[in-house]
Amino acid sequence: MHFPNVVKIKRIIEETPTVKTFIFPWKIKEEIPGQFIMLWNFQDEKPMSISVLDPVNDEMGLSIKRVGPFTNAVHRLKEGDQLGLRGPYGRGFQISGSKILAVGGGVGMAPIAPLVEEAIRRGLEVDLITAAATRDEILFQDRLETSGANVLPTTDDGSHGFCGFATELAEELLSKAVYDMMVCCGPEIMMKKLFDLSERFQLPAQFSLERWMKCALGLCGQCCMDDVGWRVCVEGPVFCGHELRLISEFGLYHRDAAGTKHHF
Amino acid sequence: MLEVEICQMKMKNPTLLAAGVLGSTASSLNWAARSGVGAVVTKSFGLEPNKGYPNPTIAAVEGGIINAIGLSNPGVEIFRDELYHLDGTVPTIASIYGSTPEEFSEIASRIERFADALELNVSCPHAMEGYGAFIGQNPDLTMEIVKTVKKAVKIPVIVKLTPNVTDITEIARSAEQGGCDALTLINSLGPGMRIELETAKPVLSNLYGGMSGPAIKPVALRCVFQVFKEVKVPIMGVGGITNYADAVEFIYAGAKCVQIGTVVMYRGLEVFREICIGIERFMKEKGHASVEEMVGLAHE
CB contact under 8 A, A45 and B27: no
CB-neighbour burial class of residue A177 (10 A; exposed 0-12, middle 13-18, buried 19+): exposed
Taking each helix axis from N to C terminus, what angle separates B217-228 and B244-253, rounded to the nearest 10 degrees? 30
Cis peptide before A237 (omega within 30 of 0): yes
Band the pLDDT of A1: cuts 50, 70, 90: confident
B53-76 per-residue burial string, b: 16 or more CB within 10 A, e: under 16: bbbbbbbbbeebbbbbbbbbbbbb
Backbone angles phi, psi at A185, to 5 degrees: -155, 140
Determine the distance in angstroms separating the CA of B19 from the nearest CA of chain A, rounded to an integer.
10
Do A4 and B196 count as a contact with CB atoms less than 8 A apart?
yes
Question: Is the predicted pLDDT of residue B129 greater than 90, yes or no?
Answer: no
Q: In this structure, are residues B118 and B16 in contact, taking their beta carbons and an 8 Å threshold? A: no
**Strands B182-185, B189-192: pairing kind:** unpaired
What's the rounded Cα separation, in Å, for the pair B25 and B72? 12
Task: Tell me how far the alpha carbon of residue B230 is from its chain's centroid.
Answer: 20
Domains of chain B: 4-299 (3.20.20.70)
Answer yes or no: are the C-beta atoms of B148 and B187 closer than 8 Å.
Answer: no
- The DSSP-derived string for B182-251 is EEEE---EEEE--EETTTTEESSTTS-EEEESGGGHHHHHHHHHHHHTT-SS-EEEESS--SHHHHHHHH
CB-nearest partner of A224 from B27, B73, B78: B27
Between chains, do A258 and B201 touch, taking CB under 8 Å as contact? no
Q: Please, what is the average pLDDT of chain B?
A: 96
pLDDT digits (tens, 9 = 90+) for A118-132: 999 999 999 999 999
Å between A228 CA and nearest CA of chain B: 6
Walk me through the domains of chain A, giving residue ranges and CATH numbers: 5-89 (2.40.30.10), 99-263 (3.40.50.80)
Question: Chain B: nearest CA to A176, how far in angstroms?
Answer: 40
Q: Which of B25, B69, B198 minimises the CB distance to A226?
A: B25
pLDDT in tens, A47-77: 999 999 999 999 999 999 999 999 999 999 9
Catalytic site includes residue B124: yes
**Best residue of A6, A8, A43, A45 to probe chain B, by most B CBs closer than 10 Å:** A45
Q: Please tell me the distance from the alpha carbon of residue A71 to that of residue A93, in angstroms, as a whole number.
A: 25
Residue B79 backbone dihedrals phi, psi, to 5 degrees? -65, -35
A185 within 8 A of A110, measured Cβ to Cβ:
yes
pLDDT in tens, B242-262: 999 999 999 999 999 999 999
pLDDT in tens, B4-24: 999 999 999 999 999 999 999
Q: How far apart are CA A26 and CA A38, in angstroms?
A: 14
B300 pLDDT tier (thresholds 50, 70, 90):
confident
Among residues B166, B113, B179, B105, the alpha carbon closest in space to that of B136 is found at B166
Residue A100: band (very low, low, confident or very high) from pLDDT cuts 50, 70, 90: very high
* B27, B50, B198: residue with CB nearest A229: B27
| pLDDT for A58 | 97
Dist. CA A148–CA A164, nearest whole Å: 24
